[in-house]
């Protein structure tokens, strides 16, 4: 590895290659609890596409694996290092190189933060909708690599729906610019789409061309309701769906999350609140009022208490603060094993009931937050630090939830990616024929398997 590091230093700018123990440890894993990782041989901080090309060429020449990463906010182990690999950080590639107002797109480097892009294009009257809870600290490259969703995805879609093109560095160091900037285009295979959700296993995304929407024309109104049980909240979600209402957000937070946030922030909560549902509609004028009233009534009919409405932007933001703070609030209680299942919307009540049963039977604490409007649930399993028995029981509950999700017609990951944590679930979900397709594509683009090996899909026979 000394030879590889020296080759990198010869090919890259000064200070781009870092080998001190503290940096290697800090960038050796993402935010996934309990996913395996090891120390990389070195960390490369790329500042340009040329740096990425040089790094890949050195790695390819020496047969050394590369693990690309952005901000490391992932929750599945997708950015975890393997022993002796190179970690390639794109966090310094933060340029927004173009905003085309007429055609409504932006070209951004992989290290641009989601929130920074949103603020930047807002100055041109444009909007980038995907808004993962980590939007303030997660990168666009990472969002694309995992096909990140967010709170407003129920109405406005996920990252995939906004990717027009990508520039990628392939496993041999060559550069491919994929996709288009036009509103339509079907020339050749959708290779740009292939890289969305590929978790760095097919090529390293260095810039992205993203579709934008007009910023104006929306008037946000929020409806919040407390429920006595998770299943009642699930029934309210199903009722909104059955009514044909498509809110711009429909989020669920259970009692454990609520109390963690309330204790952290000093808030008061109703004593009997077991779940909170947050809905948002953004149609303008009378139509928006009509939809907000309809959602309020559906919440009440399903058993909601203390149902409130808000139209003031500051009040809407306040109501949704609890959702964005839920995960960090729970992390203060101990290590969190994060699920990312997605079931049909009609199955949300049943899945929530099964999660409660899994927690009870395994004797573990499971908190629930969810993009309930599209069936994407995030059961969060908490085990005290150093309690190996609790950790083992948490793993039992984790596997049971994955199995129950699949039994209800769901998928094992909605937006976090397979990474390492979901490899067994992916093996059960993907048929042998589909796995053969995955392996064939991986073999064609990365025949030596140096790009994030062992992630995203089960690669063994």
CATH number at residue 408: 3.30.70.2740
Torsion of CA 150, 156, 157, 159, to 10 degrees: -70
Residue 32 lies in a domain: yes
195 and 222, same domain (yes or no): no
Q: Which domain holds residue 40?
A: 2-89
Side-chain half-sphere of 243: how many Cα atoms within 13 Å? Answer: 22
229 and 312, same domain (yes or no): yes
Q: Which of 89, 104, 128 is the last residue of a domain?
A: 89
289 and 396, same domain (yes or no): no
Q: Which of 294, 325, 356 is the last residue of a domain?
A: 325
In this prediction, residue 322 has a pLDDT band, given cuts at 50, 70 and 90, of: confident
Q: How much is the mean pLDDT over the chain?
A: 93
Residues 271-301 have pLDDT tens digits of 667 898 999 999 999 999 999 999 999 999 9
392 and 407, same domain (yes or no): yes
DSSP-assigned letters across all residues of 260-292:
HHHHHHT----TT--EEEEEEE---HHHHHHHH
313 and 366, same domain (yes or no): no
- Could you give the residue ranges of the DSSP H alpha helices within 382-451? 388-407, 423-429, 432-445
Residue 151 lies in a domain: yes
Question: Mean pLDDT, to the nearest integer, of 353-370?
Answer: 94
Closest to 29 in 3D by CA, of 460, 346, 455: 455
Is the pLDDT reported for residue 267 higher than 80? no
Residue 453 lies in a domain: no
Instruction: Please tell me the predicted confidence (pLDDT) of residue 461.
Output: 44
Residue 76 lies in a domain: yes
DSSP-assigned letters across all residues of 294-363:
HHHHHHHHTT-EEEEEE-SHHHHHHHHHHHHHHHHHHHTTS-EEE--EE--GGGHHHHHHHHHHHHHHHT
In this prediction, residue 334 has a pLDDT band, given cuts at 50, 70 and 90, of: confident
Going by the DSSP 8-state scheme, the letter that residue 451 receives in this structure is B
Instruction: Please tell me the predicted confidence (pLDDT) of residue 460.
Output: 60
152 and 133, same domain (yes or no): yes
Domains: count for the chain: 4
296 and 237, same domain (yes or no): yes
Distance of CA 29 to the CA centre of its chain: 16
17 and 105, same domain (yes or no): no
| Lowest-confidence region among 262-266, 301-305, 356-360 | 262-266
Cβ neighbours, 10 Å, residue 262: 16
CB contact at 8 A, 284 and 219 = yes
CATH number of the domain that residue 73 is part of: 3.30.43.10
Residue 428 lies in a domain: no
Predicted model pTM: 0.94
Q: Which of 273, 307, 325 is the last residue of a domain?
A: 325
190 and 100, same domain (yes or no): yes
CATH number of the domain that residue 144 is part of: 3.30.465.10
357 and 407, same domain (yes or no): yes
> Can you tell me which residue has the tokens 């694309």?
144
Question: Mean pLDDT, to the nearest integer, of 64-86?
Answer: 97
Closest to 43 in 3D by CA, of 19, 60, 59, 22: 19
210 and 222, same domain (yes or no): no
In this prediction, residue 52 has a pLDDT band, given cuts at 50, 70 and 90, of: very high
Instruction: Please tell me the predicted confidence (pLDDT) of residue 133.
Output: 86
Residue 459 lies in a domain: no
In this prediction, residue 309 has a pLDDT band, given cuts at 50, 70 and 90, of: confident
C-alpha to C-alpha distance for 288 and 285, rounded to whole angstroms: 6
Residue 451 lies in a domain: no
Residue 113 lies in a domain: yes
* Percent of residues, the chain, with pLDDT higher than 90: 81
Question: Mean pLDDT, to the nearest integer, of 406-429?
Answer: 96
CATH number of the domain that residue 303 is part of: 3.30.70.2190
Q: Is 218 exposed, middle or buried (0-12, 13-18, 19+ CB in 10 A)?
A: middle
209 and 131, same domain (yes or no): yes
């Amino acid at each position: 590895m000394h030879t590889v590091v020296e080759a990198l230093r010869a090919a890259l700018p000064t200070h781009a290659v870092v080998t001190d123990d503290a940096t290697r440890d800090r960038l050796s894993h993402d935010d996934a609890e309990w996913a395996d990782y090891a120390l990389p041989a070195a960390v490369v901080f790329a500042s340009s596409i040329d740096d990425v090309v040089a790094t890949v060429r050195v790695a390819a020449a020496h047969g050394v694996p590369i693990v690309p990463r952005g901000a490391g906010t992932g929750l599945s182990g997708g950015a975890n290092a393997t022993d002796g690999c190179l970690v390639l950080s794109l966090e310094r590639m933060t340029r927004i190189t173009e905003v085309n107002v007429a055609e409504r797109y932006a070209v951004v480097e992989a290290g641009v933060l989601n929130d920074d892009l949103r603020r930047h294009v807002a100055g041109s009257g444009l909007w980038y909708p995907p808004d993962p809870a980590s939007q303030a600290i997660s990168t666009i490259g990472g969002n694309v690599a995992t096909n990140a969703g967010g709170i407003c995805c129920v109405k406005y879609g996920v990252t995939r729906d906004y990717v027009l093109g990508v520039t990628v560095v392939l496993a041999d160091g060559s550069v491919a610019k994929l996709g288009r900037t036009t509103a339509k285009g079907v020339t050749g295979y959708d290779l740009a789409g292939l890289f969305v959700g590929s978790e760095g296993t097919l090529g390293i995304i260095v810039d992205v061309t993203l579709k934008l929407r007009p910023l104006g024309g929306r008037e946000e109104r929020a409806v919040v309701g407390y429920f006595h049980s998770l299943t009642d909240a699930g029934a309210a979600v199903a009722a909104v769906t059955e009514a044909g209402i498509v809110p711009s957000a429909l989020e669920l937070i259970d009692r454990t999350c609520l109390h963690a946030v309330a204790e952290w922030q000093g808030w008061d909560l109703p004593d009997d609140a077991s779940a909170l549902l947050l809905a948002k509609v953004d149609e303008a004028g009378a139509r928006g009022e009509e939809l907000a009233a309809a959602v309020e009534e559906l919440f009440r009919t399903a058993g909601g208490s203390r149902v409130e409405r808000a139209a003031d932007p500051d009040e809407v933001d306040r109501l949704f603060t609890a959702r964005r703070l839920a995960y960090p609030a729970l992390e203060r209680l101990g290590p969190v094993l994060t699920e990312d299942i997605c079931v049909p919307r009609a199955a949300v009540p049943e899945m929530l009931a099964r999660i409660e049963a899994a927690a009870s039977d395994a004797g573990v604490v499971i908190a629930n937050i969810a993009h309930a409007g599209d069936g994407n649930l995030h059961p969060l399993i908490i085990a005290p630090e150093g309690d190996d028995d609790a950790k083992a029981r948490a793993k039992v509950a984790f596997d049971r939830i994955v199995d129950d999700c699949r039994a209800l017609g769901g998928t094992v990951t909605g937006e976090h990616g397979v990474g390492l944590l979901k490899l067994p679930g992916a093996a059960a979900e993907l048929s042998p024929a589909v796995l053969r397709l995955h392996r064939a594509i991986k073999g064609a683009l990365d025949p030596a398997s140096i790009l994030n090996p062992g992630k995203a899909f089960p690669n063994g026979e």
